[in-house]
A and B are shown apart, each in its own frame.
Chain A
Amino acid sequence: MGTEIKPGDVLLELDGIRMSFGIVCALNGISAKIRKGEIHSVIGPNGAGKTVMMNCISGLYHPQAGSIYYQGNKINHLKPHDRAKLGIARTFQKVEVFGGMTVLDNIRLGRHIHYKSGILRGALYVGQTAREEIEHRRFIEEEIIDLLEIEHIRHKPVGMLPYGLQKRVELGRAIALEPELLILDEPLAGLNLEEVEDMARFILDINQEKRWKITCLLVEHDMGVVMDLSDSVYVLNFGNMIVDGPPEEIQKNPEVIKAYLGEEDLYASRK
């Protein structure tokens, strides 16, 4: 919309975001610039305000002060589904999938905003609507199911699947939106090592493949993965942004080590 954003330009900007719940100040004037085409990570101890920050961006929360700009436009007032239409998708820390629906239906749902036909035409399912459905199905099969390697479960109800696969389905649903910006809230939590490696690969794929080129905003505790994947890391602590910068700098920053990484050898042991 409006001005064309090129890779490296700021896609999303937070400016002095403040959010309190009663006397608890979750975000204390946070500012950040997310550049297009990159992977930005937000780290910080539990309760640092990471998820609140994500909720502010996706529109679940409306900050009490500060501004959020997406592609140069202020989006503070927009509802989550309007933000989705702009190209912001997300996954959740605890998977939020429709357990009773199949994998395919969950992903189809993510594609909902791209459907042009309404309820009536959908019920009749002829001509344009049928063609549209086939086109979307092709997209889901060729671009998502193939990418995430979930051919074997496409017709399975998501609730029956192991946690690791549910997370994958949730990612599938989010990218079905073909978003510009993808918020990943702890995509690796609760996964075993093999699943972590797969998920990291998928994140790199959707960020780097020509087909996708999705800008990612990642909240994650797995430091090994964060440092490997990210172009830039933000460190939150008690609602304050302590520091931000490229991963190499963050790892060396004494304040970060003290606040979050803990003893230095903790990180070394993950490697």
Chain B
Amino acid sequence: MQAESKAAFKPMDDITKEMTIPKLFHSQAKKYGKDRPAMREKEFGIWRPITWHDYLENVKYIALGLVSLGLEEGDKVAMIGDNRPEGLWAEMGALCAGGVGVWLFQDSLIDEVKYIIDHSDTKFIVGEGQEEVDKAISIFHDCPKLKKIIWDDPKGMRNYDQDYLISLKEVMRLGRELEAEKPDLFEALINKRQGDDVALLFYTSGTTALPKGVLLSHYNMLTMGKNLMSVDPCRETDDYVSYLPFAWIGEQMMSISCGLQVGYTINFPESRETAQENIREIGPHVMFAPPRMYEQMTRTVQVKYLDAGWIKRKIFEMASSIGYRIADLQFGKKAIPFHWKILKWLAHVLIQKKLKDHLGLTRVRNAYTGGAAMGPDHFRFFHSLGVNLKQIYGQTEVAGISVVHRNGDIKFDTVGLPIPETEVRITEEGEIITKSPSVFLGYYKNPEATEKSLRDGWLYSGDRGFIDEDNHLVVFDRTKDVMTLKDGKPFAPQYLETRLKFSPYVKDSWVIGDRKDHITAVICIDYSVVGKWADTKKLSYTSYPELSQKQDVYDLIEEQIRKANKDLPELVKVRKFINLYKEFDADDDELTRTRKLRREFVGEKYRDIVDALYAEMDLVHIDTTITYEDGRKTHIKTDLHIRTVKP
């Protein structure tokens, strides 16, 4: 039994056009029943398992409840809220009932919610609690297709009496009633659907325009999971921690596409703030996160390092230099000499074991990152710890990923090889195009965009890249993000930005230089790290704007930029920089919800700063108004210093 349960995942042969997510869910739930936890949630300080049997029961009643509220085939059900079992039940319930799932980012502003709900023709919203319900209520009358708002957390909901509000419990009660009436309905509903039916409608974050609705079929999702799992098989005894937004395709891929097929346990943290701690408690076997999560981990380590005593710092330095050496040998596919193996063991015992434990990476077999560029510094850092971090390349339009690194064949400037059943080519213009069973059905209510992206079954990504001598795909930054200096020399701003961000003091960076003489940067300091640094230096400050403009902080940042500049060609070194008076924020449209910089927008918004960076000025005067989340406005009047980086 033990041997059997340890067996790695074997790709399912029966992912055919007949198969749907609900059918697979149903058969897996029947197979595992009450024996295995499908998910775990930490609640009230305790990890509470939810068996496959419970998962099935809950999904069944939600599905039937939705039907009894009037859900018809193809109706959209939108979900908004934190990662929690109820969210996944609602999604699965909607799919089982024949509906289409739409996920929204929990921190979406009203306008975004309204746009997506209205554009997707959503009929039901399943929100978590009061906050989501408030958002939904405020748009209810602007979205005529919307019928009911469902909530599951009763906290703060005592004074709501709108007739279009209903609790998830009540929906499930309706489901039970319907089941008593028609006991075979649930299975009939499940069996009705086919693989090519639309399962999910996913809105892409869009760095440039309004979000587009990506239609993904059951077949898209399941083939995606199957093909990834055949590259890096997971086991049904594995653990996965779900803490990134379900509105991000990567999370859907891990929790639904892969999770359902393998049958591993999905763990939900207690709250967003406890995620890192909860990851450590679980020790997941597989991990998929955008670069910023890994960057955050690196930062945590760097900050702890700065805080540590001399001896600890020296041991860390020694261990990491061993780690880097080993990692470089592995990158170069060279054999590791015996004495390095001993040193590796030593470094592992002394530092890396403990460090990995603190980061929750002890049991990780495969860690993936994708969705944005990750700097080689970060990438090498994890490999030096012995974490098998891999780059992936993909997009919502292929239901997740299409290209991934293989074990023992990792190059940090590439994203690896296509997964099975996937063809990747480069057009004459250098655009990356993909063909696979996971390529999406089209954009919802947007035939022009569909026509542009989907030609003869090939997905045109808009990304530029090439295939290197090892057949690895190399992705440049988004086409529009490769820039040229005035003298025609191209450079990739994202690459420079990730280099700058390797410094723990730099939270965000924005590199400028398109059609200019040289390169400059706008830096957002990391308030807590720089703040702590300032405390030890006995610098007084009261706010972010004040701290960012301290001359000592400028000295600190200049030093960091000098480090980042070190190995770069003279022309693409950052020459001047400015510390911004605030952090970039998705609520101000400066970043997308997945925290990618919206270059065009910031270029427009901070035009004065850009101009000043290229003029012979030491100061730029800022006179602006900041709008807070709650609508309050503050007037900011300040002078920002411009600093030239000394060689």
Contacts and interface: CB of A to CB of B under 8 A. Distances in A.
Contacts, number: 33
Given A151-B273, A152-B274, A209-B158, 20 more contacts: A138-B44, A141-B46, A145-B44, A146-B44, A147-B155, A151-B45, A151-B270, A151-B271, A151-B274, A152-B270, A152-B271, A152-B273, A152-B277, A193-B632, A194-B630, A201-B156, A205-B155, A205-B156, A208-B158, A210-B158
Contacts of B277: 152
Contacts of B274: 151-152
Interface string B141-173: 000000000000001101100000000000000
A4 interface: no
Contacts of B273: 151-152
A200 to B, nearest CB: 12
B630 A193 contact: yes
Nearest to B43: A146
A151 B268 CA distance: 14
A242 B271 CA distance: 46
A135 interface: no
Interface in B623-647: 628, 630, 632
Nearest to B130: A201
A152 B159 CA distance: 28
A142 B270 CA distance: 12
Interface string B43-67: 0111000000000000000000000
Chief secondary structure at chain A's binding surface:
helix
B179 to A, nearest CB: 30
Contact of A154 (B45, B46, B628, B630): B45
A210 B271 CA distance: 24
A215 to B, nearest CB: 17
A145 B271 contact: no
Contacts of A142: 44
A138 B155 CA distance: 18
A149 B632 contact: no
Contacts of B271: 149, 151-152
Nearest to B272: A152
The residue among B45, B155, B159 with the most chain A CB atoms within 10 A of its own CB is B45
A151 B44 CA distance: 8
A147 B277 CA distance: 20
A154 B274 CA distance: 10
Given A149-B271, A151-B273, A151-B274, A141 B44 contact: yes
Contacts of B270: 151-152
B303 to A, nearest CB: 16
A194 B158 CA distance: 22
A142 B48 CA distance: 14
Interface residues of B, number: 15
Given A149-B271, A151-B273, A141 B45 contact: yes
Contacts of A209: 158
Contacts of A210: 158
Interface string B245-280: 000000000000000000000000011011001000
Contact of B45 (A145, A194, A197, A205): A145
Interface in A192-212: 193-194, 197, 201, 205, 208-210
A244 B266 CA distance: 56
The residue among A146, A194, A210 with the most chain B CB atoms within 10 A of its own CB is A146
B39 to A, nearest CB: 18
30 contacts: A138-B44, A141-B44, A141-B45, A141-B46, A142-B44, A145-B44, A145-B45, A146-B44, A149-B271, A151-B45, A151-B270, A151-B273, A151-B274, A152-B270, A152-B271, A152-B273, A152-B274, A152-B277, A154-B45, A193-B628, A193-B630, A194-B630, A197-B630, A201-B156, A205-B155, A205-B156, A208-B158, A208-B159, A209-B158, A210-B158
B399 to A, nearest CB: 33
B505 to A, nearest CB: 21
A128 B270 CA distance: 30
Contacts of A145: 44-45
Interface string A143-179: 0011101011010000000000000000000000000
Nearest to A142: B44
Contacts of A141: 44-46
Contacts of B159: 208
A194 B629 CA distance: 10
B521 to A, nearest CB: 30
The residue among A142, A149, A152, A193 with the most chain B CB atoms within 10 A of its own CB is A152
Contacts of B46: 141
Q: Which 9 A-B pairs have the closest CB atoms?
A: A152-B273, A141-B44, A152-B274, A151-B270, A141-B45, A151-B271, A142-B44, A151-B274, A152-B271
Nearest to A197: B630
A264 B273 CA distance: 41
A194 B630 CA distance: 9
Contacts of B45: 141, 145, 151, 154
Contacts of A201: 156
Nearest to B276: A152
Contacts of B632: 193
Interface in B155-213: 155-156, 158-159
B473 to A, nearest CB: 39
Interface in B451-477: none
A7 to B, nearest CB: 15
Contacts of A197: 630
A145 B159 CA distance: 22
A194 B271 CA distance: 18
Contacts of A152: 270-271, 273-274, 277
Interface string A205-226: 1001110000000000000000
A212 to B, nearest CB: 11
A138 B628 CA distance: 37
Contacts of A208: 158-159
A111 B155 CA distance: 23
Nearest to B154: A209
